[in-house]
Amino acid sequence: MLWKTRLIAPQWVALAAVFLGLAACSGTPGLVRPNEPVKVQRIFEVRSPIEWARFRGLGNETWTIDGALLNRLTFITNIRDKEHIFGYGRQNRWNPDGAFYRTGMDPNELRDLMVDGLAQIGFANVSASNLQPGERDGFTTYQFDLDLRSPNGLTYKGHVLMLERRQRLNFVLFYAPVEYYYAKDADAVTAIFADLHVRP
């Protein structure tokens, strides 16, 4: 898996297929059962009203119902200073440009970091709206909505929750095609976001 591979900028455009397909190639999934608490990457505790297939990776998890191209709930944890938001290398003089996290980013910078990261891995027309600060278990959180288009031409809507914990970035990202799947899953995802807890 390419999760922590260092890549140069021209390669990022080709990564959307990898990112979109991670859940499809990660082996036998686990199962998220309805209304049972689930610990995610030792950072989040989540409860879902519906069942999901669960694929665990190093520092990340993906949940899906119908396949990662049709509904995808991704948790990414413990992004360090100067690391790419999707795990594709660190910022340095050989790899200076990209969606690299910096400790202490303000809310608008975090939102733009997500938008830039999604664009760099191949999504088009990425935009964010409705940025809302909040509080969760003593941590300041930021939630916002997404609109984006995948490399295969599907139009998606999504939601993001981001927070800094111990000077590291953690986030939950959901997206699904506007046609049918987003509306089908939106209520369940809203419930997941509302009930999500963060380990101190």
Indicate the pTM of the whole model: 0.86
In tens, the pLDDT along 126-151 reads 999 999 999 999 999 999 999 999 98
What letters, b where the CB count within 10 A reaches 16 and e where it falls short, cover 54-69?
bbbbebbbbbbbeebb
Alpha carbons within 13 angstroms on the beta-carbon side of residue 103 total 7
Q: Is 48 left (phi over 0), alpha (psi -120 to 50) or beta?
A: beta
Per-residue pLDDT band at 3 (split at 50, 70, 90):
very low
